[in-house]
Amino acid sequence: MFRFIFSKLLYLVPTFMGITIIAFGFVRILPGDPVLLMAGERGISPERHAILSEQLGFDRPIWVQYFDFLGRLFQGDLGNSLVTKKPVMAEFLTLFPATVELGLVAILIATLIGVPVGVLAAIKRGSWFDQVSMTAALVGFSMPIFWWGLLLIIFFSGILGWTPVSGRISLMYFFPDVTGFMLIDSLISGQKGAFTSAISHLILPSVVLATIPLAVIARQTRSAMLEVMGEDYVRTARAKGMPPRRVIGVHALRNAMIPVITTIGLQIGVLMAGAILTETIFSWPGIGKWMIDSISRRDYPVVQSGLLLIAGLVMLVNLLVDLTYGLINPRIRHK
């Protein structure tokens, strides 16, 4: 198992280096000069432009800037935002818990609903349940997030008044950030009603963010289950007279879970992409909204370091997924 983990970790090194190049290069490929964007319609004199570029280090050759970025990175310094002038790491750490909280709840919703729906659809293949749920999954998968979010807000918050429109908690509650996770902090605060307020604020954004992963997980679970249920060992188990519940629960589902776990792991990347839109609609102070703002302002340090942190996170989750295979399936770790 140790060798297995070590080999997986070793793969991360070149991937990580590749990501530094992509993250650094991506924002610089985009047209638009941050100094000009700061000046806006007013314009900026060539002299002032030169002074600012020098101050920000943009006048140096691109490879010098890259190695400077790498050098600082290895010292744990991600630079300062051009816009707020604050350290990128500090901003990331402030905003990250909000995204994680939203993402975890969303993936929980997606998994808890997606897997049973997929299993049921596979068992009752061709039934009305199968057809309706798989059509719904296709619709969910193609859902334009922005429109969907706004629609839910107008319906549940505007017309029915069931959920708050946006934000993380009602403004009447005010307590210091301890963990950054609103569900935990609201409990710690001991303020009456804070926790339920936090939950009610989480409902719409997490449902919106869960929509696409839910659809993917349901469809993946269904097809994996169908494949496994056609295998010899499942037929054998059935022929032995094993109760159907045990055949599905122990023999079929456990094996079908491998591709499903892969899918859930891959959804982390999808969640990050979805978070950008979801956070913007629901005024959710997370890293998705932060990245979008920074890209439009060409805030190089934030975009490159933010991308790196997000990519690092996705890599970490995928590593955990790989290790989980090892646990579920001994053949993989001994290969």
Site string for other proteins, 96-135 (x = CB under 8 A): -----------------x----------------------
Is 219 a residue that touches other proteins (CB under 8 A)? no
Name the β-bridge partners of 308. none
What distances in angstroms separate CA 245 from CA 233, 248, 266, one per listed residue? 15, 5, 29
Closest-CA residue to 59 (of 35, 29, 86): 35
Is 196 a residue that touches other proteins (CB under 8 A)? yes
Chain positions 244 to 273 lying near other proteins, rule: CB under 8 A, are: none
Select from 30, 138, 139, 273 the one that contacts other proteins (CB under 8 A).
30
Is 174 a residue that touches other proteins (CB under 8 A)? yes
Q: Tell the smallest beta-carbon distance from residue 30 to other proteins (Å).
A: 7
Q: Where are the alpha helices (DSSP H) in 192-231?
A: 194-229
CA angle 271, 264, 303 (to 5 degrees): 30
Select from 1, 21, 22, 36 the one that contacts other proteins (CB under 8 A).
36
Is 285 a residue that touches other proteins (CB under 8 A)? yes
Is 82 a residue that touches other proteins (CB under 8 A)? yes
Is 54 a residue that touches other proteins (CB under 8 A)? no
Task: Quote the tokens at residue 58.
Answer: 């943009």
* Rounded Cα–Cα distance for residues 326 and 314 (Å): 19
Is 1 a residue that touches other proteins (CB under 8 A)? no
* Smaller CB separation from other proteins, 7 or 283: 283
C-beta neighbour count of 25 within 10 angstroms? 13
Is 53 a residue that touches other proteins (CB under 8 A)? no
Q: Tell the smallest beta-carbon distance from residue 270 to other proteins (Å).
A: 20
Residue 86: left if φ>0, alpha if ψ -120 to 50, beta else—which one? beta
Part of the chain binding other proteins (CB under 8 A), chosen from 82-90, 120-128, 234-242, 321-329: 82-90
* Rounded Cα–Cα distance for residues 223 and 297 (Å): 43
Is 139 a residue that touches other proteins (CB under 8 A)? no
Residue 278 makes CB contacts below 8 A (sequence gap 6+) with: 102, 145, 149, 205, 208, 209, 284, 288
Part of the chain binding other proteins (CB under 8 A), chosen from 8-16, 66-74, 192-200, 266-274: 192-200
Site string for other proteins, 292-321 (x = CB under 8 A): -x--x-x-----------------------
**Count of residues interacting with other proteins (CB under 8 A):** 72
Residue 326, Cβ density class (10 Å: 0-12 exposed, 13-18 middle, ≥19 buried): middle
Closest-CA residue to 20 (of 68, 91, 56, 88): 68
Chain positions 150 to 169 lying near other proteins, rule: CB under 8 A, are: 150, 153-154, 156-158, 160-168
